[in-house]
Structure 1
């Protein structure tokens, strides 16, 4: 597909039930036995099928009375396609997991992007916040990487927010890289030092690139791409770096997505370095506001959440990531009590090591039940709102997509009610509950983005999915090269030294109760 080809369709979509979105009172707005007329990629009309279809016999028709229509899902925190587990990297605490990424085999950017995009679309995700892991090398390679990524999303038919993680310090540990390098054997130091140098790019140069990328793509795809900024984390960014990023965000009206307080060690870093929490530090720097989404937030205190709510920030909850890496459980119920909008992200992959948001939603619902008879827990509708409307806002598509109502983009997932309710579902069961708990990839019939059919009979149809998967398999099946083996050997030498470094700066020894992290000991 060329950039000049249309990405929206005009059609009529029939559904027995439409989950339109959450109302201000927290209930799900629904329509029954209706048609949705799509014009120019936008929902133009929802009403009785006969009325919607009147005078529109020329329009393509999809769906049936057996379909449940819901807004396309949003993966609000995503990095890359082929997962670390697939590449031989076992799960470990974040600080000892990320360094091993350097040994993973490089996959063609387009193929890698398409791989996870296939998984997302076929499980109902129509929009993604793509956070490139970080730029290195020459500026021309940055543009090639961004172009390949965005072209892949364009070809497959997804909406995407694009950003790249920005760091200017403490890449190896939570202390100066020079100190960590000094502890390493010479061979490993000589191996990794040039890699750190390659990623040491002046922040002004990155902001210049961000503006150029935005200018080159946004006018061509204003409905399908957003360009956001991603300061990697507080321990990875100096104050000067953060202030430059946020000034650029204000000037370009961009969303900012920042990893924050993912692990206990990150919380300790802020208190040890600044004498107060990471959230307090960002507030002091005037780096919090309605355009800011904080990813993870596992170790936020109640006082932190008060600040986040007061500043109008959103949170992105990455439930699978926190569990699989032992990072912790975000205090979602405390966030909801303060009215903080919460989006959902799958991060690198979910508990099934893929990008199925319908599975992630089930986990989120279950994880935040908490004990007690009278708890205010998120119901199915609340979780659906996190994965749709709230997610769209954090990516930069707020008010544009995320709900099914006239004036919104026609990003629509059709689930087959017969597959959800087989063999029989009581009429008393709320539809949103049945969709959350019994719906999933198996029940998805069709997916539309801007009214354009991108998934049919549960499979992506906009690209040759089998050819993509076959090419990836072909490229990854070859034995390790000598260089790849040498990289793994260097990582094996590096990790014990990093462990020593982290043990030195770990404030809590031994076992930590698996509760709500910073709130575990608070009333």
Structure 2
């Protein structure tokens, strides 16, 4: 973007001292000065710094200062000139599954999630290593430096092996990853689990037999087994500088009180927090209304789980009273707007969450609207959807989140939501050099709003295609369309192999029963939604 579009301090006319080079910082151990047009250290748009540069040393931010001052103070340090660009904190994907495949092979037609999960389990289990590796490289190319791996099972029967394979992929890519150890102890086939006998009676004998035949566990097993798995993973990978760990539960309806309290207690002792999906779909909401008439959040609060250590994921169907309770307990939230639209789950009411002071972060769930990992575009979608108002209730009219709120969704709030609050999501002296550089050239054009600020135009127009450099821990992982230190052809071949393999059925008998299973699932959950709505309207 031409600097005349956004008045700022002029650059000095005198030549810059120091060496200017295309220095390739590969392992984060060298020193480098990055000199863009602008530096945005954090989520405050008023903190934009023109004519500043960043000194990277030993994988950390060593200084942020006027470019001439940094070069004069460090004449022997290479300088990477980044014209027509802005340097800012690397983006944080606060909820994704490490699945690089387009959604189609995993759940055809963006089917409702509760149907798609069983359909996916009916297909051949996939190797999590290439999926996580490709997902990580895709995120690197789109300015994402940190991602939470939500830990959903691939259905191989070896959940520990799945997590270890995914970890291998993240480590090879060099992305910073928070690995969730997930678990459930009820409702694996259908929820509420008490309805399972009646549900099976309505199926054909052949399908009922397939659903109930002995199988390997989807997750680690009991709470004790899940905790023991966490012990082993931390023992083996706790020293990796780009890895950290967290617990996850895919829904309160899938965990007994004993399981929830055991996992939450261990998370508190370790200081690693809990990632809990609640009300992702209307199905989840209806099932929770059936199981917990007093309210699922009231149940969680009584169990002592609603604390600042908890991150509530999705929350599409939260009531005003539940939003107030989350705010009072200091809980963070994560929304995946594109995924929710594609799966017809609904629209999370980000306006009320933000007005209540609840930190909101964003994730892609590997099912963004454009089937990519473009968090900048997802942010634009989230900001637009936040204006949706239930006119039938008289408002209030939700306004677009502020620039500060939007930036925080991908940086500081996202770091807090995944257990890295204060450690990631900003650029400060001593912090890890996790950053991205965006070209401003793509923002120029006839639609450029000259009355708006640079940050307003950036958030309104920029996308992943504008990312020209991604750095993690001082190591450049992506630059100008090229992954650094990664054989893209090999990665692409792994993805093609996984794609082909994903089309096969785990059991030859499964395909002929998919339509029957979908129909019965829709009927079962449709009745739950009708009943829950009736109870709500009668209250």
TM-score in same-fold range (> 0.5): yes
* d(CA) in 1 for partners of 2:306, 2:107: 38
Q: CA offsets per residue over residues 75-119 of structure 1, 9 Å max, x none?
A: 111112213314461122222222211134433221111221122
What does residue 210 of structure 1 align with? 230
> Aligned runs of 1:7-18 on 2, under 5 Å?
9-18=30-39
Q: How far 1:375 moved relative to its partner?
A: 4.8
| Cα distance change on mapping 1:273 and 1:447 into 2, 3 Å | same
Say which of 115, 133, 136 aligns to 1:114.
133
Q: CA offsets per residue over residues 288-329 of structure 1, 9 Å max, x none?
A: 111110000011111111110111110001111221111111
The normalised TM-score by structure 2 is 0.86
Q: How far 1:147 moved relative to its partner?
A: 2.2
More displaced 10-residue stretch of structure 1: 411-420 or 251-260: 411-420
* d(CA) in 2 for partners of 1:508, 1:163: 34
What does residue 496 of structure 2 align with? 473
| Cα distance change on mapping 1:63 and 1:374 into 2, 3 Å | farther
CA contact 2:124–2:504 (8 Å) conserved in 1: no
Q: How far 1:425 moved relative to its partner?
A: 4.4
SS in 2 for 1:320: helix
What does residue 94 of structure 1 align with? 113
Say which of 77, 101, 105 aligns to 1:82.
101
Say which of 452, 467, 487 aligns to 2:475.
452
What does residue 21 of structure 1 align with? 42
CA contact 1:365–1:380 (8 Å) conserved in 2: no
* d(CA) in 1 for partners of 2:153, 2:499: 23
CA RMSD in angstroms, aligned pairs only: 2.8
* d(CA) in 2 for partners of 1:322, 1:424: 29
What does residue 21 of structure 2 align with? none
Q: How far 1:509 moved relative to its partner?
A: 9.8
CA contact 2:28–2:57 (8 Å) conserved in 1: no
SS in 1 for 2:430: coil
What does residue 288 of structure 2 align with? 270
| Cα distance change on mapping 1:383 and 1:465 into 2, 3 Å | same
* d(CA) in 2 for partners of 1:119, 1:6: 20
More displaced 10-residue stretch of structure 1: 433-442 or 467-476: 467-476
What does residue 321 of structure 1 align with? 339
CA contact 1:15–1:33 (8 Å) conserved in 2: yes
Q: How far 1:448 moved relative to its partner?
A: 0.7
SS in 2 for 1:283: helix
CA contact 1:131–1:165 (8 Å) conserved in 2: yes
Q: How far 1:28 moved relative to its partner?
A: 3.6
* d(CA) in 1 for partners of 2:431, 2:384: 30
**Aligned pairs, number:** 504
What does residue 19 of structure 2 align with? none
More displaced 10-residue stretch of structure 1: 246-255 or 500-509: 500-509
Q: CA offsets per residue over residues 407-458 of structure 1, 9 Å max, x none?
A: 3221111111122224684654211112112211221111111221011103
CA contact 2:289–2:532 (8 Å) conserved in 1: no
What does residue 436 of structure 2 align with? 413
What does residue 52 of structure 1 align with? 70
What does residue 34 of structure 1 align with? 52
Say which of 521, 535, 538 aligns to 1:498.
521
> Aligned runs of 1:353-502 on 2, under 5 Å?
353-370=371-388, 375-422=398-445, 425=448, 428-477=451-500, 483=506, 485-502=508-525
2:190 is the alignment partner of 1:169 = no
* d(CA) in 2 for partners of 1:309, 1:282: 14
Q: CA offsets per residue over residues 131-159 of structure 1, 9 Å max, x none?
A: 12137676xx4443222211211121110
Q: How far 1:35 moved relative to its partner?
A: 1.0
Q: How far 1:404 moved relative to its partner?
A: 2.0
Q: CA offsets per residue over residues 468-502 of structure 1, 9 Å max, x none?
A: 11232145347965756533223333222223322
* d(CA) in 1 for partners of 2:418, 2:330: 15
2:210 is the alignment partner of 1:191 = yes
Say which of 152, 166, 171 aligns to 1:154.
171
More displaced 10-residue stretch of structure 1: 45-54 or 190-199: 190-199
Q: How far 1:245 moved relative to its partner?
A: 0.6
What does residue 515 of structure 1 align with? none
| Cα distance change on mapping 1:423 and 1:449 into 2, 3 Å | farther
CA contact 1:343–1:394 (8 Å) conserved in 2: yes
* d(CA) in 1 for partners of 2:41, 2:336: 25
